[in-house]
Amino acid sequence: MDKDLFKIFADLYTYAKVNKLTLRMANNINLNAISPRMKVGSEINPLLPPLNACGIAYAAISTQLNSKEQVFFDSYWNSNGNMNLTPNQMSNIVNCSGRIVNSSSTVTIGGNQYTAKTVNYYGSEYKYAFGAATEYYNEYGQCVGFKDTYDFNAASRDWQNETITNAVGTVGSLCGASNYVISYGIHE
């Protein structure tokens, strides 16, 4: 994330926390009063109407996402509810490079044993979609399930990524976004 965008999110996050903004208020705030680094609507292009805070935040966040991550962010931002992955999406996730298995354990689901692997996606093309998630494998080593909660929870991140995560979560909640569960196949 570039430095200017980071500063804008830091400004929004601080303003929202200090002023205890509500969703109703988030769309009516004077963005230039919060962050002089922000340009809104007609300042970017005289033909555009002024944008509200939620539209600016969505656009700013979206510029940092690839098309695969954008699908998951849009579901969060629009409060679409839980998402079941397609077999094609699941295959792309399991086969993406940069995934790191952090830990694994044996779990019993429906009387059958599976290996649950906690996977870190921070080095992959899904770094802004999952962070860490659980993949489930059968006795033959085939991935048969997946589960993650799409949220902006606190975790072990460097200070800049933790600040951005908190800012996006705060702004998202002000704009009506909702956490949700992403799943596929067999899972707890």
Q: Find where tokens 């804008």 sit.
A: 8
How high does pLDDT run on average in the chain?
79
* Rounded Cα–Cα distance for residues 133 and 45 (Å): 41
% of residues, the chain, pLDDT over 70: 72
Of 132, 137, 147, 143, nearest to 83 by C-alpha is 147
Say whether pLDDT at 89 is over 50.
yes
pLDDT at position 58:
80
Structure confidence by residue, pLDDT tens digits, 95-153: 998 899 999 999 999 999 999 999 999 889 998 899 889 999 999 999 999 999 999 98
Is 0.85 surpassed by the pTM of this model? no
Higher model confidence: residue 61 or residue 133?
133
* Rounded Cα–Cα distance for residues 143 and 137 (Å): 4
**Other C-beta atoms lying within 10 Å of the C-beta of residue 60:** 18
If DSSP states are collapsed to H, E and C, what string results for the chain?
A: CCHHHHHHHHHHHHHHHHHCCCHHHHCCCCHHHHCCCCCCHHHCCCCCCCCCHHHHHHHHHHCCCCHHHHHHHHHHHCCCCCEECCHHHHHHHHCCCCCEEEEEEEEEECCEEEEEEEEECCCCCCCCCCCEEEEEECCCCCEEEEEEEECCCCCCCCHHHHHHHHHHHHHHHHCCCCCEEEEEECCC
pLDDT at position 188:
94
